[in-house]
Structure 1
């Protein structure tokens, strides 16, 4: 089985030599570096672990740093085990030329997240009556329980189709056809759509449902395809830079908020310390003044007693 990790660049349209128009997804699959091999004797299964998108070591967490330090390789953003793939040595690179035009592949990726949606959008439920003062309930999903009681259980069954989080799930699209390969740019052009937003991670592998070989696809205007690919690459690059800038801005804002919080705590501590110092500096009675005050109090009490006896 052939597998490779790539990054979705975008979608274009292309024309075949017979005039038909087809949708094409551009996937940039940089060389996948083999990190280690799993064997049946040592690990209990056969697999090849690869790394995709090399990054700086400072962007890794401690477990990731420890792993790459252990295997003595460069740091990668994504790692993946390819089951039942063998024949590679540590350090080898898996390139896009493992596929050819006309090959059938499966594309696996995480779909776009849609957030919290209703049952009509999420499960394609029927819309209720719109007229005669129905109001908004035409978007409601209706009853979700078994019945009204008695012999029927008053509960919601497991797996009931309801409103909830929609999208952002792992999906596999089967039987896609490879249109062409561009080895210089590490590009794979696939006929059809692939899940996920631009710059999302995509796994391409040999399809498991169809063994039918398709003749190589011939495009009518390769130059137009090259221009469209270049435009999509630029759009993907700008989107990636915007995402990085947004993440950097968010990190700077969090850093500034923490700084202001620390300054506020420091100021409160200084004010508290100043108040305690002022409280300690207030004048108190000395040892010489204390007996005098005691004698004065005793004299006043004695005079009061004498006045009362008279």
Structure 2
């Protein structure tokens, strides 16, 4: 599938073709550089690796420096591989070619967006799993409004089942939101507006797939 790497700018809203006000997310998508082209003969599958964002040369390993030198480009911060990219992209792509958002997406396309959700640290069961707490504030309850309650039996099963919903680290997970419509593309600024919200904070890296 074709795709591109970008950065979440923030949210706004625009009026759609039917006159409705649609909440949208603004993404700075690309430009991305083709850093590797894989094929069936050498790699066993077809794919295109794209690079996005600048990386300091002193923080780049020798192996990566050689990898980027083959593509005749500067070191990139993010590398993402898209399988079967050349099949969907008309005319194919070449090593070192620069791709913009307008080369891959068009308005009214439907895309999938992948990003890491906001990390919230260690959270209790009310925030993490939407528990309602234990009982009410009356009848001798003390500091129990946000407690998880019982987690297991006594002599049977004499253990806590795996997967029990308890307090723990929340967020910072890879999340994929599907079927978001491309509302508008501003090619001169490499901007794309997609309907709805996407995971992650502002300036977070996102992957758009078609």
Asked if Structure 1 and Structure 2 have the same fold, meaning a TM-score greater than 0.5 normalized by the shorter chain, the answer is yes
Instruction: Name the counterpart of 2:203.
Output: 199
Measured in 1, the distance between the counterparts of 2:146 and 2:183 equals: 42
Q: Distance between the aligned counterparts of 2:16 and 2:180, measured in 1?
A: 16
Output the CA distance in 2 between the equivalents of 1:171 and 1:41: 33
How far residue 63 of structure 1 moved from its aligned partner, in angstroms, is 4.7
User: 135, 142, 145: which one pairs with 2:142?
Assistant: 135
Closer/same/farther in 2, CA of residues 119 and 63 from structure 1, 3 Å limit? farther
- Residue aligning to 2:48: 48
Query: Which residue does the alignment assign to 1:103?
Result: 109
Provide the rounded CA distance (Å) in 2 between the counterparts of 1:17 and 1:105: 19
SS in 2 for 1:136: coil
Give the structure 2 partner of residue 217 of structure 1: none
3-state secondary structure, aligned to 2:189: coil
User: Would the alpha carbon gap of residues 72 and 185 (structure 1) be closer, same or farther in structure 2, given more than 3 Å must change?
Assistant: closer
Q: 1:2 to 1:70 in 2, by over 3 A?
A: closer
CA distance 1:130–1:61, shift in 2 (3 Å): farther
Determine the structure 1 residue equivalent to 2:89.
none
1-structure distance, mates of 2:198, 2:77? 21
With over 3 angstroms needed to count, the CA separation of the structure-2 counterparts of 1:63 and 1:115, relative to structure 1, is farther
Unpaired stretches in structure 1, ≥5 consecutive residues? 207-310
Which residue pairs with 1:121 in the alignment? 127
Partner of 2:168: 164
1:92 to 97, 118, 140: 97
Cα distance in structure 2, aligned partners of 1:169 and 1:63: 29
Give the Å deviation of 1:71: 5.5
Question: Which runs of 5 or more structure 2 residues have no equivalent in the other structure?
Answer: 87-91
| Greater relative contact order (CA < 8 Å, ≥ 6 in sequence) | 2
The alpha carbon displacement at 1:8 in A equals: 0.4
Cα shift at 1:58: 1.8
Aligned residues: 203
In 1, the alpha carbon distance for the partners of 2:74 and 2:193 equals: 28
- Structure 1, residues 91-126: CA drift from partner, whole Å, max 9, x if none? 112211121111111110001100100111111122
Identify the structure with the greater helix proportion. Answer: 1
Alpha-carbon separation, structure 2, partners of 1:188 and 1:120: 36
Q: Give the aligned partner of residue 9 of structure 1.
A: 9
List aligned pairs for 1:155-304, cutoff 5 A.
155-206=159-210
TM-score (norm 1): 0.62
2:71·2:95 contact (CA, 8 Å) conserved in 1? no
C-alpha separation between the residues in 2 aligned to 1:183 and 1:204? 16
Distance 1:162 1:70 in 2: 49
TM-score, length-normalised on structure 2? 0.89
Aligned Cα root-mean-square deviation (Å): 1.8
